[in-house]
Amino acid sequence: MLKFQVHSPGKVILHGEHAVVYQKPALAAVVGLGTKLQLRSQAGSQVASFQLEALNCTVEIELNEFNAFVANFRNKYPSDKLESTAKLMEEVRAEVAKQLERTMGTTPKQHTQRAFLSIYYLLAGAVLSAPGDQRTLQTGFQVQVETELNVGAGLGSSASYGAALAAAFLILAGHFDENSYLQEENLALISHWAYESERVNHGTPSGVDNTVCTYGGILRFVKGQGFQALCIQKPLSILLVDSRISRSTADIVAKVRHLGEEFPQLIEAIWQACEQLVNAAVPLYESFGNAQDDSQKFEKLERLFQINNDLLKAIGVSHPKLEQIFTIAFKRGFFSKLTGAGAGGYAIVLLPENYECNEVYWKLKEELEAAGFGVHVTTAGGVGLRVSSLDN
């Protein structure tokens, strides 16, 4: 009887948002908030049930229908080793559309459709590529998914969800177990299928979210050139502040692109400055925590936060609510910046060591909450995806 849980963290962009679109480096870090998935196999059941708390919905897969789909796919593509997943994506889309139409009667919300599509696609991929001859699901199971991450807020909620599903299904299909998932090839497999899940949600993702959510820590990323893990000594303490303003990342990226077309040399100079900022930040993050007195390094990081935020303001991706957060933080002596696309979403406030003993910190938190913002104390640069056993 399988019974385990997966915790998959979310992420923030520390530096380099927007510039990363133009082949400049960015730094991404996992946060202490994430997605929790619990899987319990159910003897005698022939149904896979998924309770998705964030979307307030339950979806079910009949095992006999799923196994028939897998068998049909194998017959249709007998030589397919799933090195290219395009055929599987196409077949799953058709199957899911047919099942949703039959079981729900009406067209479900887009979030529900995508969630079900991700589930079916990752489950089929894990079973079809499973080692050995057992290429069907024998026993039903129940999955509960809950998250601390707001959907569409720039915290990597979809990658966190995808990585949690991928790990659970790969264990279910026998690729590895709860004791061997941290082996390099197994983490690479989880990250690969989390990326495939991202394709369902975003079309052409960069690959940074699924990588950092799986491996953890802080990553330096250049579009088209892959990732470099920073050798950090310890995670940073941060305050994540939710502006409660939703926005479309695609729309904001398009506006910034238009600005770059109007003032190409000026905007290119900003991208160059963003690159220099990342280069200056990397050694600070890597050495922070290995000396008794890190106060000078922390002050430099604070300045980089401020410069980075001013560069992002210069390309027009701030918002009055974000400005309110920056003002409240600065008034109390804290440095902050927007993260992700901007124009809403989250801001990060950098917290010093032993911040809990600082009376001003508690006043800052209280003032932000009184102003109506969501406030989460967490870390940047902690551990990545983790699997643990369930007691009941």
Please name which of 343, 305, 339 lies closest in space to residue 321, comparing C-alpha atoms: 343
Q: Which residue has the tokens 């796919």?
A: 73
Same domain, 18 and 162: yes
The SS3 of residue 347 is: strand
| pLDDT at 320 (0 to 100) | 96
Same domain, 261 and 165: no
Same domain, 219 and 127: yes
| pLDDT at 326 (0 to 100) | 97
Name every residue whose Cβ is closer than 8 Å to that of residue 216 and which is 6 or more positions away in sequence.
9, 30, 381, 382, 383, 384, 385
Same domain, 283 and 328: yes
| pLDDT at 103 (0 to 100) | 65
From the candidates 8, 129, 158, 243, which is the catalytic residue?
158
Name every residue whose Cβ is closer than 8 Å to that of residue 226 and which is 6 or more positions away in sequence.
none
Phi, psi of 22 (to 5 degrees): -110, 40
| pLDDT at 12 (0 to 100) | 93
Domain of residue 157 covers 3-230+383-389
Decide if 163 contacts 143 (C-beta within 8 A): no
**Distance in angstroms (rounded) separating the CA atoms of residues 286 and 275:** 17
Same domain, 135 and 267: no
| pLDDT at 107 (0 to 100) | 58
Same domain, 251 and 208: no
**Distance in angstroms (rounded) separating the CA atoms of residues 20 and 263:** 18
From the candidates 8, 206, 209, 242, which is the catalytic residue?
209
Q: Which residue has the tokens 């997943």?
A: 85
Same domain, 281 and 211: no
Same domain, 360 and 290: yes
**CATH code, domain with 174:** 3.30.230.10
| pLDDT at 106 (0 to 100) | 57
Q: Which uninterrupted H or E stretch holds 304?
A: helix 295-314
Burial 18-55 (b: 16+ CB within 10 A, else e): bbbbbebbbbbbbbbbbbbbbbbbeeeebebbbebebb
Decide if 13 contacts 271 (C-beta within 8 A): no
Quote the number of domains for the chain.
2
Active site residue 158: yes
One pLDDT digit (tens) per residue for the chain, 392 residues: 889 999 999 999 999 989 988 989 999 999 989 999 999 999 888 999 999 887 788 888 999 999 999 999 988 887 766 766 888 889 999 888 888 777 665 556 677 788 888 999 999 999 998 887 767 898 999 999 998 887 767 788 888 999 999 999 999 999 999 899 999 999 999 999 999 988 887 667 778 889 999 999 999 989 888 889 999 988 999 999 999 988 777 788 889 999 999 999 999 999 999 999 999 999 999 988 877 678 889 999 999 999 999 999 999 999 999 999 999 999 999 999 999 888 888 999 999 988 999 899 999 999 999 999 999 999 999 999 999 998 76
Active site residue 160: no
Decide if 49 contacts 60 (C-beta within 8 A): yes
Same domain, 81 and 174: yes
Phi, psi of 12 (to 5 degrees): -130, 155
Same domain, 199 and 298: no
Same domain, 211 and 264: no
Same domain, 257 and 311: yes
Q: Which residue has the tokens 């330096």?
A: 220
Decide if 246 contacts 343 (C-beta within 8 A): no
